[in-house]
Chain A
Amino acid sequence: MSQIYKVAIIGSGPAGMSAASHAAKLGLNHVLLEKTDHLSDTIYKYQKGKHVMATPNQLILRSDQEFDAGKREDILGKWNDRTKELSVNVKFNAEVKSIKGTGDAIAGSIQKMVARARDGTTTTTELQRMAPPYELTLTSGEKVIAENVILAIGTQGNPNLMRCPGGDLPHVTYQLDDPYVVVDQHITVIGTGDAGIENARGLVEDEVQGNVVTVLNRAQKSTNVRESFATAKEPNAKALVDDDAAGRLTIMYETETKEVEPGWIVLATRDGEERIRCDRIIARIGSAPPRGFVEGCGIEFASQDRLAFPTLSPVFESTAPGIFVIGALAGYPLIKHCMNQGYDAVEFINGNTSLKPADQPLLDAKFAGLPGNRSVEQWLDFLKSNVTILEGMTTLQLREFMLDSDMRAYRKGEVIFEKNDPGSSLFAIADGLVHVQIDPTDKSKIVPIEKGSIFGEVGLISGRRRGATIVAAEDTVCVEISRNAALKLQSQVPTAKKAIERISTERQLLQMFGAGLNPADIKEVVDDAKIMQIKAGDTILREGDDGKEIFVIRVGSMIVEKMVGGKPVFLSYLPAGSYVGEMALIAGGQRTASVRAAVKSEVIKIDGEKFEAVLRTKPALLERARKDMDLRRQTNALIESKKDSISSVVDLWSEQAEFLVAQGLGEATDVLLIDETLCVGCDNCEKACADSHEGLSRLDREAGKTFAHLHVPTSCRHCEHPHCMADCPPNAIHRGPDGEVFINDTCIGCGNCQRNCPYGVIRMDKVPPKKPSLLNWLFFGSGPGPGEPPYKWSKKNMKYTGNPAIDESLDRKKAVKCDMCAGIDGGPACVRACPTGAAIRIAPDEFLTVARLEEESA
């Protein structure tokens, strides 16, 4: 108690452990506080034998601990040994409850914390920051005093707790290590995500266990398990429902916990209260990010965004002086980054202020060869002072940001990108001037974009192809910002978010309504425009309502429906970049059709009156809007007029469109469909897929849903905003030049993409050995023949060398998904290999059209 540590490190993951090791090496008076009874819990919890990768490869490791790619056990073993060797002062089972300064109040330093309740209301609490040394209170009640604190707790967070009366009783648990040791108990599982389902099923897997398991589900019972178990994977949910049907366990729908008593649980069901026996409760109701705890320490976050990270100085110091934040919590999920930061933070605390960050050589390479001959530091300053959206960044953020971005220099006249190129990166002009060619047939029609501004934001936001060609008008230097870096930027720097939103709204309107308009004309419209998030299935326009707003679809897609003869009929599919609502504005009257989101979307809502004012001053624009409207009316008229003469065809077309949208085509860019009137089930598509891609098929023809003989197999749809990309630690998933979403060789096999894909199209598997050639098989029967080799054959024929490094890489599982046969002449093998013409690849905006209706009725 009386001892004051120089530094207390919280969390013994790669970051914290590296920091503590370096502190030990330097002989600083330190303590490493770990919540569990072992080091590095996150990696400890990896599955046995998991291969841990060491990306980014080019980054130099700077730590007193060793780290290289390898098996989980080896890495943990080395870390444990080295920690002992360095005599790191580790305190296990030491969970920190709070951190408070014990010094004087720091004048003017007040932390504001905003708590958001479920109903959307917010409450703000204020906290006066106190100077160090800090008092760390552990859950055991013990207190630790330290001058500096390094916070390296990661982002795993804590499980959400039950809040009903009795939720703190000892038989309420939040995890289940081994379901097979639990016997003869009455167990209630709360939470119907994958974790809860797996626990529940594990508990009843063996009848001998004699467990009576009840699963509580807040949702309604439905034949569609995706509705009744929205957060679980479909196969898991189905298996659970089957178990229920077989009487192995009980699912209680529309049920919540009211109260927990020893040995019993009181439930609120649709039909009233019910009290059932319960010896153990397993609550798997998600986990909360550690933000609340972190904010309570006086550490400010960059924004209210859920993804925001703490605001840090160039030496990782947070807004609470003496508290440093490193590792995943600071926004660096990769092990190497974490370990380097641990080392750096301790160096800084030890008074070494001239230490250059470990990423210096990487940044040197980024800025090498650019005109101007500036050093890295000069470039960073130059970018900060010249590019508007980067102004609000700290140097630390900017360094990290630049690692994910690229510097590009263009000569005068050089094309930066072409219209219809795929690309989701954002460009910022650091120096020079570019021209946007707004009319591909007439190169003289251009709009200039000045230094400091941005372009390419449409691709960033909508995920669709580039809308115009951009040419450098002078010698130009740009920063190309990857989509991930741009998203991070927007969450870190609120001003950047606003600037990007405003520019994108303005440009989108200008681009949609064509030339002749300039930013000044629509200033009022843009000022008033609102960006709205729309959930899948929500309606933005309802047939028969009054209203004059116009909606521009910015992200996602919408479907237009109208009641004809008492039945909803699908009229059209609107991809991002379209607008709706103009009919009521131009022609007056009520809304003529309903528009609802096919997937989670974002729209720009434009005030009708203000837009009308613009229309009045611009007759050409009005004319053009009228034309668009007439085209839509023709479409509607065509469908409605045909509705009676060929009612069955229209109904089928309409239902088929609905079906496809329900299968996720609303966010697809390129999808494989199978016409089951032609499919003979030969599976040549799967075989061709495997043979074109190192022996693993990326599609399951038979699985998936079918409607009216149109089958959507389990195969990648190349979503506009791929779910798989969302959380890829080595950033291995990209969009290629043909719009394909692919996984490159840096995949570490973590399986995040597989879990994130809502369509189940990614598999984790190891590459089978090479097969003998086709002729060898044809003439001599050697090898397993065309298609994916059977598992047994692969296992038997895998060429192990006895060298663990090579053998281990042979056994490594990687994420595998469709890459649209990129780089293979002739295009997708599945389509080429279909003998009957059943397999087709389509883009939804080209498929869900009236053209197909006309064809079918012809």
Chain B
Amino acid sequence: MATLPHTPDKGDFETAATTKSSTSTRTPKTAPRVRRDKVTSHDSFLNYGNGRWWKIAIVIAVVSFATYFLIDVEPRHNGGSWYGYTMGTIGFALILWLTLLGVRKRAMTPGRWSLKAWTSAHVYLGLSLIVIGTLHTGFQLGWNVHTLAWALMMLVILSGLFGIYVYATLPKALSANRYDEDGAITEKVMIEQMKQLDRQIHDAAQPLDPEAATIVERSLGENVFAGSFWQRARNSYPGDLTRIAMGELRKLRNFRPRTDDDPFERVETLLSKKEALLAKLRRHLQLKSWLQAWLYIHVPATFALIAALSAHVFSVFFYW
């Protein structure tokens, strides 16, 4: 918390009527016990600390390029020159450190650290690795284990970039989708409501004839979580049983005399309610899968990268 921007005095403008916290008494010379910092404003990991880490990343990139062009390596820049070794070492250390975010995230040790600061550094230093890693190669790419390591690194970085994109764009939609007239509803509540609706549909379907009841039953048997990853990610369920049941039911209704208090109508209303809820839940699952999907490339590729890097380093020193 201490690392978050803290603007305590802005609040005084408002609470000036309370002499307890008026500006004149707000800054005691000897503050014996520091109040826990409170924030009135906050920033995202992308501009954490007034953009501290992207500034650092730019400096790293500029310095790397400048030294690359200023230092004359004979016969040409390559991974084996002293400059190449330096960049390689920096890059390797950086990769290992960036990997540690996964540990940091899970190790809830005490101390004045914030995961937001770590994420911010992870993002920008990770991006600077494009420059460091590529300059390390001296643009000598080929079909070998060395280039494999570089390619895997780029894959990790690109998947990370995609991650930043979804993190920056999808949360709003995730939140908006959860809105209800009473506020937000949770995934658990959606599932509960679904069960509730199923029960209501089941009850309402009792007066129907066997043919119609079978159709309705099919909707009840549907598992919301079924479907492939692609269906979930694209939120496309062509064979959706609820929709089919609705359609069939409407078809049947056309051949029946119209009456007041038609059980068909009640079932249909409930089915359309269920369809709306289903759409909401599926949209929720879609957004959640996008928010997580990129990690399924990012993380395994990182381990592959570390393996390839080990091979790369080992072979370089073995064939010294």
Binding site for B on A (CB under 8 A): 223-224, 242, 245-247, 418-421, 439-441, 467, 511-514, 572-575, 577-580, 627-628, 631-632, 634-635, 670, 675-681, 684, 687-688, 691-692, 702-707, 709, 711, 737-739, 774, 778, 785-786, 820, 824-829, 831-838, 840-843, 845-852, 855
Which of the 9-residue segments B89-97, B106-114, B245-253 touches chain A?
A: B106-114
Whether B276 is near chain A, meaning CB under 8 Å from some CB there, is: no
A774 touches B107 (CB 8 A): yes
Bound state CA distance, A831 and B113, in angstroms?
Answer: 10
A842 touches B187 (CB 8 A): no
Q: A440-B28, A703-B186, A842-B40 are in contact. Are A635 and B15 (CB under 8 A)?
A: no
**Chain B residues closer than 8 Å to A631, beta-carbon distance:** 13, 16-17
Binding site for A on B (CB under 8 A): 1-2, 4, 7-8, 10-11, 13-21, 25, 28-29, 32-33, 35-45, 48, 103, 105-108, 110-116, 118-119, 167, 170-172, 174-176, 178-179, 181-184, 186-188, 196, 199-200, 203, 288, 291
Given contacts A578-B15, A778-B106, 12 further A-B contacts (CB under 8 A): A628-B17, A631-B16, A678-B45, A692-B108, A704-B183, A825-B110, A835-B45, A837-B116, A838-B171, A846-B8, A846-B11, A849-B13
Smallest Cβ-Cβ distance to B9: which chain A residue: A851
CB distance from A848 to the nearest CB of B (A): 8
Q: A247-B203, A706-B184 are in contact. Are A832 and B44 (CB under 8 A)?
A: no
**Chain A residues closer than 8 Å to B11, beta-carbon distance:** 845-846, 849, 851
Q: A511-B19, A841-B1 are in contact. Are A441 and B29 (CB under 8 A)?
A: yes
Q: A688-B108, A706-B175, A834-B116 are in contact. Are A421 and B33 (CB under 8 A)?
A: yes
Bound state CA distance, A634 and B16, in angstroms?
Answer: 11
Q: A420-B33, A512-B19, A577-B18 are in contact. Are A691 and B108 (CB under 8 A)?
A: yes
Q: A246-B200, A826-B111 are in contact. Are A709 and B116 (CB under 8 A)?
A: no
CB distance from A265 to the nearest CB of B (A): 26
Smallest Cβ-Cβ distance to A662: which chain B residue: B183
Bound state CA distance, A289 and B305, in angstroms?
Answer: 72
Q: List 20 A-B contacts (CB under 8 A).
A: A579-B17, A627-B16, A670-B36, A680-B170, A684-B105, A688-B108, A702-B188, A704-B184, A711-B184, A737-B33, A778-B103, A827-B2, A832-B1, A833-B108, A835-B105, A836-B116, A836-B119, A845-B11, A846-B8, A846-B38
Q: A467-B20, A786-B106 are in contact. Are A831 and B114 (CB under 8 A)?
A: yes
**Chain B residues closer than 8 Å to A246, beta-carbon distance:** 196, 199-200, 203
When A and B form their complex, which 9 residue pairs have the shortest distance between CB atoms, in order from nearest? A676-B175, A851-B10, A705-B183, A706-B184, A440-B28, A691-B108, A702-B186, A849-B14, A631-B16
CB distance from A55 to the nearest CB of B (A): 31
B29 touches A440 (CB 8 A): yes
Bound state CA distance, A30 and B11, in angstroms?
Answer: 68
B179 touches A577 (CB 8 A): no
Smallest Cβ-Cβ distance to B1: which chain A residue: A827
Smallest Cβ-Cβ distance to B167: which chain A residue: A680
Smallest Cβ-Cβ distance to B118: which chain A residue: A835
B41 touches A855 (CB 8 A): yes
Bound state CA distance, A832 and B110, in angstroms?
Answer: 10
Bound state CA distance, A44 and B113, in angstroms?
Answer: 51
Smallest Cβ-Cβ distance to A632: which chain B residue: B17
Bound state CA distance, A835 and B295, in angstroms?
Answer: 14
**Chain A residues closer than 8 Å to B106, beta-carbon distance:** 687, 774, 778, 785-786
B114 touches A832 (CB 8 A): yes
**Chain B residues closer than 8 Å to A632, beta-carbon distance:** 16-17
CB distance from A204 to the nearest CB of B (A): 12
Q: A420-B35, A836-B116, A852-B41 are in contact. Are A514 and B19 (CB under 8 A)?
A: yes
B25 touches A439 (CB 8 A): yes
Bound state CA distance, A829 and B108, in angstroms?
Answer: 7
CB distance from A457 to the nearest CB of B (A): 14
A680 touches B105 (CB 8 A): no
B45 touches A836 (CB 8 A): yes
Smallest Cβ-Cβ distance to A511: which chain B residue: B19
Smallest Cβ-Cβ distance to B197: which chain A residue: A246
**Chain A residues closer than 8 Å to B37, beta-carbon distance:** 827
Partner of B115, one of A577, A833, A840, A849: A833
**Chain A residues closer than 8 Å to B39, beta-carbon distance:** 840-842
B175 touches A679 (CB 8 A): yes
Smallest Cβ-Cβ distance to B102: which chain A residue: A778
Bound state CA distance, A631 and B13, in angstroms?
Answer: 7
B32 touches A681 (CB 8 A): no
Bound state CA distance, A679 and B13, in angstroms?
Answer: 30
A223 touches B111 (CB 8 A): no
CB distance from A627 to the nearest CB of B (A): 8
Q: A631-B16, A676-B174, A841-B1 are in contact. Are A833 and B40 (CB under 8 A)?
A: no
B108 touches A679 (CB 8 A): no
Smallest Cβ-Cβ distance to A628: which chain B residue: B17
**Chain B residues closer than 8 Å to A578, beta-carbon distance:** 15, 17-18
Bound state CA distance, A575 and B18, in angstroms?
Answer: 8
CB distance from B51 to the nearest CB of A (A): 13
B13 touches A851 (CB 8 A): yes
A678 touches B44 (CB 8 A): yes
Query: Which of B10, B103, B171, B178: most chain A Cβ within 10 A?
Result: B171
Smallest Cβ-Cβ distance to A786: which chain B residue: B106
A837 touches B42 (CB 8 A): yes
**Chain A residues closer than 8 Å to B105, beta-carbon distance:** 684, 833, 835
Smallest Cβ-Cβ distance to A706: which chain B residue: B184
**Chain B residues closer than 8 Å to A688, beta-carbon distance:** 108
Smallest Cβ-Cβ distance to A820: which chain B residue: B36
B28 touches A242 (CB 8 A): no
Q: A579-B17, A684-B115 are in contact. Are A223 and B182 (CB under 8 A)?
A: yes
Smallest Cβ-Cβ distance to B14: which chain A residue: A849
A676 touches B171 (CB 8 A): yes
Smallest Cβ-Cβ distance to B28: which chain A residue: A440
**Chain B residues closer than 8 Å to A785, beta-carbon distance:** 106
Bound state CA distance, A837 and B183, in angstroms?
Answer: 22
A835 touches B17 (CB 8 A): no
B19 touches A850 (CB 8 A): no
CB distance from A553 to the nearest CB of B (A): 9
CB distance from B203 to the nearest CB of A (A): 7
**Chain B residues closer than 8 Å to A842, beta-carbon distance:** 38-40
CB distance from A506 to the nearest CB of B (A): 15
B186 touches A711 (CB 8 A): no
Smallest Cβ-Cβ distance to B116: which chain A residue: A837
Bound state CA distance, A113 and B39, in angstroms?
Answer: 54
Bound state CA distance, A223 and B181, in angstroms?
Answer: 8
Bound state CA distance, A703 and B107, in angstroms?
Answer: 25
**Chain B residues closer than 8 Å to A845, beta-carbon distance:** 11, 14-15, 21
CB distance from A664 to the nearest CB of B (A): 13
B172 touches A709 (CB 8 A): yes
Bound state CA distance, A692 and B110, in angstroms?
Answer: 8
**Chain B residues closer than 8 Å to A635, beta-carbon distance:** 13-14
CB distance from A57 to the nearest CB of B (A): 30
CB distance from B86 to the nearest CB of A (A): 31
Q: A467-B20, A842-B40 are in contact. Are A835 and B110 (CB under 8 A)?
A: no
**Chain B residues closer than 8 Å to A774, beta-carbon distance:** 103, 106-107
A681 touches B288 (CB 8 A): yes
A835 touches B115 (CB 8 A): yes
**Chain B residues closer than 8 Å to A786, beta-carbon distance:** 106, 108
Smallest Cβ-Cβ distance to B295: which chain A residue: A682
Query: Which of A578, A835, A842: most chain B Cβ within 10 A?
Result: A835
Bound state CA distance, A575 and B170, in angstroms?
Answer: 37
A680 touches B187 (CB 8 A): no
Q: A440-B28, A511-B20, A834-B116 are in contact. Are A678 and B171 (CB under 8 A)?
A: yes
**Chain B residues closer than 8 Å to A440, beta-carbon distance:** 25, 28-29
Bound state CA distance, A242 and B20, in angstroms?
Answer: 49
Smallest Cβ-Cβ distance to A242: which chain B residue: B196
B1 touches A831 (CB 8 A): yes
A680 touches B171 (CB 8 A): yes
Smallest Cβ-Cβ distance to B184: which chain A residue: A706
Smallest Cβ-Cβ distance to B30: which chain A residue: A440
CB distance from B50 to the nearest CB of A (A): 13
